[in-house]
Structures are given as structure tokens and as C-alpha cells.
Structure 1
Amino acid sequence: MSKVIKMKYFFEKYGFHVSSRLADRLGMRVTSVRLFFIYISFVTAGLWFGVYLTLAFWIRLKDLVRTKRSSVFDL
């Protein structure tokens, strides 16, 4: 058996069982726990994308406010 297939079986056996054990411990349904992890992953990715856009806007605004002069004679 190849290493990729062994790794796939390992993650299927031990990795995907985490959400069901967590749901059993919390007394929730497994689908709710899995949906929570999916929603949290989208929120965290979107949050950092929003921070990136905000910083890009500030840098653009700084460049528009401050005109760059190459020498003293440009006054």
C-alpha cells in the first residue's frame, strides 16, 4: 500500500473522529459541530482579508494625501 493511502486511512480513522467525540462530550449533534468548524474557518479567513483591504486603503490614502517631491526645486 502506498504512503498516501496509508496517510488517508490514518486521517480517516483518527482525524475525522474528533468532531464526533467532541459532539458526544458536549451533548450536541455531529453535524452542528462540523458546521461550526466550517463557519469558523470562513470567518477567520474573511477577517484577515478585511484587515488586508483596510491596510491597503490606508496606504493608498497616505499616498494621495502626501505628494512625493523628488527635489527641493519642485516647490
Structure 2
Amino acid sequence: MRQNFYNLRYYLERNGFYVSSRLADKIGMRAKSVRLFFIYVTFFTFGVGFAVYLTLAFWLKLKDLVYTKRTSVFDL
């Protein structure tokens, strides 16, 4: 049971949007604390925290698509 939980956790961390990790890096906190914050906010506000998480994931993905660094002119 415990091993299945860790397998699921590592799968989601590898293939997720890394919203919690990126926010934690910006704020200077641990990613685990940011994830717990989103979990608690979701329970207290009945899903608004999850909507905020998805919105942030969308914005970060959009930012990555728009602001990609190009090494030279020929990378267009």
C-alpha cells in the first residue's frame, strides 16, 4: 500500500506541471509545504484552491511556450 502511494507520487512529480516546485523556488520554500497549502485550501474552500492550481499551471505552461530562449536567429 505504502509503495503504491510513493509510486503514484513520483509519477505525478515527474509528469506534472511542476507548479508547486516552481512556486516553491520563487518563494524560497519547500515544495512539500506548497503542496500541503494547496491541499488545505482546496478542503477549506471546496475546490477553489484546485481551480487556482490549474490556473497557475496554465499560466506557467503558456509562459514557457511564449518566452522560450532561442540561441540564435536560425532557431526560428
**Fold match (TM-score > 0.5):** no
Larger Rg: 1
TM-score normalised by length of structure 1: 0.41
TM-score normalised by length of structure 2: 0.40
Greater relative contact order (Cα < 8 A, sep 6+): 2
